Amino acid sequence: MTSQEIRNQFITFFQDKNHKFVRSAGVVPFDDPTLLFTNAGMNQFKGIFLETETAGHPRAVNSQKCIRVSGKHNDLEEVGRDTYHHTFFEMLGNWSFGDYYKTEAIQWAWELFTDVWKIPKDKLYATVYKDDDEAFELWETLTDIPRENILRFGNKDNFWEMGETGPCGPCSEIHVDIGGDPAIHGSHPELGVNTDSPRFMELWNLVFIQYFRDQSGELTELPNKHVDTGAGLERVVAYLQGKDSNYDTDLFTPILDEISSLSGIAYEPDEKGMAHRVIADHIRMLTFSISDGALPSNDGRGYVLRRILRRAARYGRNLGMNDAFLYKLVPTVVSVMGDAYPELNERVAFIQKVIKSEEDSFSQTLGRGLQIFSGIIKDTKAAGQTTLSGQDVFKLYDTFGFPVDLTSLMADEEGFDVDLEAFENLMKSQREKAREATQLKQTHTQDSQWEILNAGAHSEFLGYTHPKLDTSIAQVLKSDKNIDVILTQTPFYAESGGQVGDTGRIYNAKMELEVLDTRREGDSIVHATKLFSGEFNTDPVIAVIDSQRRKAIVRNHSATHLLNAALRKILGDHVKQAGSLVDATHLRFDFNHFEKMTPAEISEAERLVNAEIRENNFASIRNMSFDEAKTEGALAFFGEKYGDEVRTVKFGEYSHELCGGVHVQATGDIGFFRIESEAAIAAGVRRIEAVTGKVAEENARLERETINQLRHLLTSDVEDLGSKTQHLLDEKKALEKQVKVLSFDQAASILSDILGNSKSIGGVNVLSEIVEVPDTEALKDLGSELIRQMKSGLGVLGTVIEGSPYVVCVVSDDVIAQHKLKAGDIVRELGQKLGGGGGGKPQLATAGGKDAAALKTVIAGVFDLIGDRLG
């Protein structure tokens, strides 16, 4: 049986039991700030468990892309050392949303494992939570698992939580005895369960979700009980394919083969194969996370990618692969996984480009970093120590980009520890920064005390067609400052998909509420309002949006779609939306592209969008199935969560996207489109900011005013403005040069006045004077001229430029030779006295300082200073 067949059998098994198939969510969680990566199949259903969202169907089944490298669930250390932990893995799962509970969950798991997949019953072990007698009994009565194979465990093993906060509950796991040396646990094999014993592997976790853990750590009962199960596909496949290791299954062998062929080193399933395994694991994690919109960077999620990539790159070195190689593995990963996750196929080139550029930048420092590392190991050994200092670890991190876990791992291979505490102290400021970026916050829905006025349906959005509605308040949440309301029906669009929320008014005869913003919380559309006049009451209301603002927003939104299409035409199909924001004043569109756009490309994008505006195509908006939309070529944005039924927005044949936002009726409504800026915001991500409609017109008008002003000042036609300005600039440059010559001449004429002021000190002709010059260049020039005219001797000239004192010292070669007087030494002393410093050659040196008032004394003191030096 192939992995593909096993995945499908799981899904079909539960579909036959009336479960609805749900596509895997992206590994970058949608709208869940408590997680860096999707770490379990249940993440996308969190809102349903918390009852902020309603389930479309009471039962679901899927195969979820998961990453466990951070937070509560982190398997990184195990990867490659054992044969069944991964940074990226697929989780097969079935769910009940307040529907069936423990009975069916246990019964069906047993049926699939033993009836369908024929796993020998006596090899299976079921664990239950220590107090969960119910689950224990169900295993005993509903299944024919041997009685002694049902075991109880505590919180650590049998209470499952997704993170620090969130839905959670007791669980029941199914472990399998994979055989091996029977002597390992003697006649009590059950003693091996949950002990990291090589004989046992956990296959499936059935979680009985019934609590919510809040930020203070408190558990509260959820209104309903749910089932959340998860079985690691890679492990199930390994077991069913009769393999000792996940890496020996068809999910991994093509990748390992490719690594062997690139490195010329064959894979070995024992310790020697560690590098192959780590690379094979990490490249899957990188491919999926980049495909779902994450990018390597210096903090938060991006830093996790960077760490994983550097770890893999360094393992590549162990196999003699010193140049970028990881990117070459991407097509193999996609060929193994692309059928199950078709989104990968569209992004191969982009993923490769991101990985290659990150590998290249790391390899610039990797070689040198490894040398430094060897030096550190040697020094530490020589000093009789076994721990690398925090400073060394920090240096490797800071200068050579070695993530601390990479250094720890390398140190460990050499039999050394690292002083993590000292390292952490040094990292404090950087960490602060990273923490800000990944600050995990909690939505307030769970704790809020909404007052329910109308228990029926609410938050029906009618705003695609109605700017104004007669409606009623369904729920209200009052605080000192604000009144949040939820309406039965509303014309207000809640912020989503980059389009900002509507503002406007909700009123009746006795009050007027000003709507400041509209947001979505689960299934609810929440209007954040302020009492504008009257007294809050719950009589029927009229809700009306600020239509002018909405019109400006939708112009920008539709223009974003046209821009997306234009960029794909001009730059290529690799252009993918990486984020967007549309409000009433402008639009911001982030997209994947590696080069800066040329001015010609920017103009072309503007030209194409404006041409489409003039086409005045109607917005054709249709609901269809996700698969149908994809077949029709509609573009989906990976940062978005889509249901089965999607809304598509199409303008002529030009642009076709999945989108829930509000749009113009026809492109002509956009009026006019202008790109105002184009810049990089991260490696491989560029941002265009643009304006439409009135703002575009206003910006054009402002520019014309500026141009008219310039035309007036330069008495020029528009066409000649450039050449005339250039002419003026050239003229200015020439004049500046002339001024410099003149001021030098003027200064040089000073020389003739002061040359006579020199004194002979110990046989050396010494001159020290204050002069006026425009800048330090002129001071140096004057110094050179002075010594030329003095022929033999030593001169010091001082001046004040913009409030700061400067000196130049010049010495003739004969004086340097005979008297060992060097200009560099002298200015150093003078600079100190001026509260600064200086230096230079023996013939000419300069110094500057802060104390302009001291200049006079310093210049006068030169004679004594030379006298002292000459003894």
Q: Which residues bind ligand SER (CB under 6 A)?
A: 40-42, 93, 160, 205, 207, 228-230
CB atoms inside a 10 Å sphere around CB 760? 9
577-610: b (≥16 Cβ within 10 Å) or e:
bbebbbbbebbbbbbbbeeebeeebbebbbebbb
Nearest residue (CB) to ligand SER, 211 versus 350 = 211
SS3 318: helix
Q: Going by C-beta distance under 8 Å and a sequence separation of 6 or more, which residues neighbour residue 645?
A: 623, 624, 625, 626
* Host H or E run for residue 445: none
- Measured from the CB atom, the residue of 93 and 491 that comes closer to ligand SER is 93
- State the nearest-atom distance from the C-beta of 440 to ligand SER, in Å: 19
* Residue 239 C-beta: closest distance to ligand SER, Å: 17
The Cα–Cα gap between 434 and 715 comes to: 55
Q: Report the C-alpha gap between 477 and 445 in whole angstroms.
A: 11
Q: How far is the CB of 21 from ligand SER (least distance, A)?
A: 16
DSSP H helical ranges for 456-596: 547-571
Calculate the alpha carbon distances from 117 to 41, 106, 205, 239, 671 in Å.
22, 16, 17, 10, 62
Instruction: Show Cβ contacts of residue 707 under 8 Å, excluding neighbours closer than 6 positions.
Output: 718, 721
Q: In this structure, what token pair is assigned to residue 437?
A: 């970026």
Return the number of the residue (205 or 556) whose C-beta is nearest ligand SER.
205
Least Å from the CB of residue 45 to ligand SER = 10
Give 203 or 773: the residue with its C-beta nearer to ligand SER: 203
- Which residue's C-beta sits nearest to ligand SER? 230
Sign of the C-alpha dihedral computed for residues 846, 851, 853 and 859 taken in this order: negative
- Contacts of residue 110, defined as CB under 8 A and 6 or more positions apart, other chains included, come to 142, 143, 145
Minimum Å distance from CB 41 to ligand SER? Answer: 5
Shortest spacing between CB 223 and ligand SER, in angstroms: 19
C-alpha dihedral sign at 258, 259, 264, 265: negative
Query: At a CB cut-off of 8 Å and minimum separation 6, what does 281 contact?
Result: 79, 80, 86, 87, 88
Side chain identity at residue 533, one-letter code: S
The residue among 41 and 639 lying less far from ligand SER, judged by its C-beta, is 41
Least distance to ligand SER from the beta carbon of 206, Å?
A: 7
C-beta of 28 vs 797, nearer to ligand SER:
28
Tell me how far, at minimum, the Cβ of 572 lies from ligand SER, in Å.
39
- Least Å distance, CB 49 to ligand SER, is 11
- Rounded CA-CA distance 871/856 in Å is 24
Residue placing its CB nearer to ligand SER in the complex, 42 or 295:
42
Min dist. Cβ of residue 321 to ligand SER (A): 34
Measured from the CB atom, the residue of 96 and 577 that comes closer to ligand SER is: 96
Phi, psi of 92 (to 5 degrees): -80, 135
Nearer to ligand SER by Cβ, of 70 and 580: the residue is 70
Helix residue spans in 791-854 (DSSP H): 813-819, 823-833
Tell me the closest approach of the beta carbon of residue 341 to ligand SER, in angstroms.
19
Residue spans of beta strands (DSSP E) within 368-503: 387-388, 417-418, 451-452, 460-461, 468-471, 473-478, 483-487, 489-490
Minimum distance, C-beta of residue 9 to ligand SER, in the bound complex (Å): 18
196 or 653, CB closer to ligand SER?
Answer: 196
Please state at what angle helix 3-15 crosses helix 233-240, rounded to 10 degrees.
Answer: 110
Return the number of the residue (229 or 488) whose C-beta is nearest ligand SER. Answer: 229
- The DSSP bridge partners found for residue 167 are 212
Question: Is 76 or 259 the residue whose CB approaches ligand SER more closely?
Answer: 76
Helix (H) or strand (E) holding 421: helix 420-438
The single-letter code of the amino acid at 576 is: K
Write down the least CB distance from residue 115 to ligand SER, Å: 22
Taking the least distance from each CB to ligand SER, the nearer of 72 and 704 is: 72
Give the integer Cα–Cα distance in Å for 49 and 225.
Answer: 8
Q: List the structure tokens of 837.
A: 């410093």
CB closer to ligand SER, 93 vs 403:
93
Q: Looking up tokens 């109607």, which residue turns up? A: 618
H helix or E strand, kind and range, residue 687:
strand 685-692
Q: How far is the CB of 38 from ligand SER (least distance, A)?
A: 10
Alpha-carbon distance 593 to 687, whole Å? 10
Query: Smaller CB distance to ligand SER: residue 90 or 769?
Result: 90
- Least distance between ligand SER and beta carbon 231 (Å): 8
Q: Which is nearer to ligand SER, 205 or 475 (CB)?
A: 205
Instruction: Quote the least distance from Cβ 203 to ligand SER, whole Å.
Output: 11
Distance CA(843)–CA(823), nearest Å, equals 6
List the beta bridge partners of residue 62: 93
Q: Least distance in Å: CB of 174 to ligand SER?
A: 12
Three-class secondary structure assignment of 619-673: EEEEEEEHHHHHHCCCECCCCCCCCCEEEEEEECCCEEEECCCCCCCEHHHHCCE
Of 113 and 493, which has the nearer Cβ to ligand SER?
113
Least Å distance between CB 64 and ligand SER?
A: 8
Crossing angle of the two packed helices 823-833 and 862-869, in degrees rounded to 10 = 130
Name the residue nearer to ligand SER (CB basis): 89 or 350: 89
Locate 31 and state its tokens.
């709208």
d(CA 541, CA 487): 9
Nearest CA among 805, 804, 806, 807 for reference residue 823 = 807
Q: Which residues contact 38 (CB under 8 A, 6 or more apart)?
A: 25, 26, 27, 28, 29, 44, 64, 65, 66, 67
